[in-house]
């Protein structure tokens, strides 16, 4: 196992290029199951979760091949098989093959997915949607099973705008008979990216990005080349890294619209934000940041995946910030680690009360999940002295070349062997 050793106190400055989006590429990789022809995906981030999805596709006979940032996927030899539990439980995104497998083979059986322990992420929304399309689907004994000779287009109304359930419903509906309407659909930019890819390979998806998505079923799909959108969570993390260190960071390839909720809160805190066709940047002012309240919500609200990084920023703000977590009930595990570094944080149910302090101090802390790990790195960059962030295998799941990119901005961070507990 490895850790990050960080010498805090450096002001980050410069340009960094955004990687392709983890949350966009995983469902698009799963969608290749629906076609018989190869696709080439450009701008694919080399992440542990992407590697696991490649292994899952390989298990079904799909060939995958890397060529720098391009991922070649050939589903022509696909066959149906039972996936190994250990592989599927490595990440939450493994459940994204449910809809495509059902649409392609008329059946799917998957173990409950794994991933970060940030709270319950039930599969009932997925199951309910498939049942409304004529499938016999259920959760039983740690497995999700679904069967249907051919899915029938239907009107689906999600109880909650779940991203995963929306994606699985879209992919299942691609080869269903007739028209499917998904109401109260998730509106995330990554869903728009999935719909764009599906349309490029011959699907008929309309309304992605709104709360009502319409899919007209088709019989056959082709292959294509497609470029994955940038990772807005990674981009936001680098902007917050610049802000917490009092620096100036510009993220090339980022888009203002997809980051609107974060940028608005950063401006409220007194930071200067600039955007152009080339990307988005943040510049710290001469005065101490002001405390700003946030509450996580489905897109276009404040992203839960940026909550912990924003909390890191608020630990040094002037005043008191209230951070309400409305998506996952167990996403404040990083707060205890930040307190070890001098932060003043009190957890009350699903809210965190952050009283800003003037200084943070280096310590040895442990990442409990992907975004918490990134937040602790940011906290370490702003702290006095040395910080060691352990369990960085979580961070490797979602940040490509994280330490190299931070080093290019002037951070003193290195990857080291984690000292085993005695």
**Which residues are designated catalytic?**
116
Dihedral pair phi/psi, residue 331, rounded to 5°? -110, 30
The string of DSSP letters for 182-251 reads EET----HHHHHHHHHHHHTT-EEE-BTBSEEEEE--S-----EEEPPB-HHHHHHHHHHHHHTT-EEEE
Q: Which helix (H) or strand (E) holds 146?
A: strand 143-147
Alpha-carbon radius of gyration of the chain: 21
C-beta neighbour count of 15 within 10 angstroms: 15
The Cα–Cα gap between 153 and 155 comes to: 7
CA atoms within a 13 Å half-sphere pointing along the CA-CB vector of 152: 6
Q: Measuring CA to CA, which residue among 122, 143, 189, 151 is closest to residue 34?
A: 151
Residue position matching structure tokens 């710290």: 284
Residues in the chain: 422
Q: Which helix (H) or strand (E) holds 370?
A: helix 370-382
State whether residue 64 is helix, strand or coil. strand
The Cα–Cα gap between 403 and 407 comes to: 6
Q: In terms of DSSP bridges, do strands 320-324 and 344-348 run parallel, antiparallel, or are they unpaired?
A: unpaired
CB contact at 8 A, 107 and 147: yes
């Amino acid at each position: 196992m490895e850790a990050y050793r960080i010498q805090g106190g450096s002001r980050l400055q410069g340009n960094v290029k955004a990687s392709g989006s983890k949350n966009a590429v995983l469902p698009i990789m799963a969608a290749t199951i629906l076609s018989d022809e190869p696709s080439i995906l450009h701008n694919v981030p080399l992440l542990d979760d992407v590697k696991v999805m490649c292994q899952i596709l390989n298990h079904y006979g799909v060939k995958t091949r890397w060529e720098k940032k391009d991922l070649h996927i050939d589903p022509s030899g696909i066959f149906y098989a039972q996936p190994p539990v250990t592989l599927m439980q490595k990440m939450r995104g493994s459940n994204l093959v449910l809809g495509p497998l059902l649409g392609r083979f008329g059946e799917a059986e998957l173990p409950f997915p794994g991933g970060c322990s940030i709270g319950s992420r039930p599969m009932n929304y997925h199951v309910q949607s498939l049942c409304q399309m004529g499938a016999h689907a259920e959760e039983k004994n740690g497995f999700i099973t679904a069967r249907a000779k051919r899915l029938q287009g239907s009107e689906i109304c999600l109880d909650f705008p779940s991203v995963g359930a929306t994606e699985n419903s879209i992919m299942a509906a691609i080869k269903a008979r007739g028209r499917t309407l998904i109401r109260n659909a998730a509106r995330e930019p990554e869903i728009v990216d999935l719909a764009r890819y599906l349309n490029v390979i011959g699907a008929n998806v309309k309304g992605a990005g709104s709360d009502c998505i319409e899919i007209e079923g088709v019989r056959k799909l082709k292959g294509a080349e497609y470029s994955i959108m940038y990772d807005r969570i990674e981009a936001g993390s680098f902007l917050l890294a610049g802000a917490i260190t009092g620096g100036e960071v510009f993220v090339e390839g980022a888009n203002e619209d997809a980051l609107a909720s974060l940028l608005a809160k950063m401006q409220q805190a007194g930071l200067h934000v600039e955007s152009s066709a080339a990307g988005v940047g943040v510049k710290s002012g001469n005065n101490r940041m002001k405390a700003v309240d946030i509450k996580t919500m489905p897109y276009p609200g404040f992203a839960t995946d940026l909550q912990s990084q924003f909390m890191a920023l608020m630990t040094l703000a002037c005043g008191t910030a209230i951070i309400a977590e409305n998506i996952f009930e167990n996403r404040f595990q990083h707060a205890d680690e930040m307190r070890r570094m001098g932060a003043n944080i009190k957890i009350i149910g699903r809210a965190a009360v952050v009283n800003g302090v003037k200084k943070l101090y280096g310590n040895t802390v442990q990442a409990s999940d992907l975004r918490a790990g990134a937040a602790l790195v940011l906290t370490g960059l702003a702290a006095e002295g040395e910080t060691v962030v352990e369990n960085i295998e979580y961070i490797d799941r979602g940040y490509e070349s994280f330490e190299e990119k931070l080093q290019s901005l002037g951070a003193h961070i290195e990857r080291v062997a984690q000292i085993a507990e005695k």
